[in-house]
Amino acid sequence: MTRRIQRLRRERLDSRIPHIRYNFEVKPRDADDPSHDSEHVVRFNFVVLAKDPKKVSDLIVALISQYDGAMNMVRDVASEVVGNKGFRYILRTVDANVKPDLVPWARYGEKFKMKIKRDPNLREQSGITLEDYVVRTYS
């Protein structure tokens, strides 16, 4: 576990610069959930780091919902960045019936004038939760 924490810290983006990190996972549809009518649901995880991350993350959710009206908010966590006064981050997870390649992440980075990066570790993993990964990344 210690090696994993050290590796996570090395992969840290600069927490002094506003940015967006994202990832997605294709999950099989839950048979008990009638809100999703396709075979697969895509889980989008994203973190927005900014002085006002709520505004940006609300806009991202609105932009994703253009492609799927039956979007489901799974996680919404906000916190301050350790050692960087004024900066906060929001971690959001949404499930949607949207093909990942339809979401124009690069255009979102241009729209919000923020650096954007796909982070393959921004997902549920064995041994570490998504929230723990984000907290360790920004602390």
Look up the CATH number of the domain holding residue 110.
3.30.2000
Q: What is the 3-state secondary structure (H, E, C) of 37-87?
A: CCCEEEEEEEEEEECCHHHHHHHHHHHHHCCCCCCEEEEEEEEECCCCCCC
Range of the domain at 76: 2-137
Q: Which pLDDT score, from 0 to 100, does residue 41 have?
A: 81
Q: Which pLDDT score, from 0 to 100, does residue 126 have?
A: 80
Q: How many domains does the chain have?
A: 1
138: left (phi over 0), alpha (psi -120 to 50) or beta: alpha
Q: Which pLDDT score, from 0 to 100, does residue 125 have?
A: 82
Residues of the chain under the 50 pLDDT cut: 1-2, 5-11
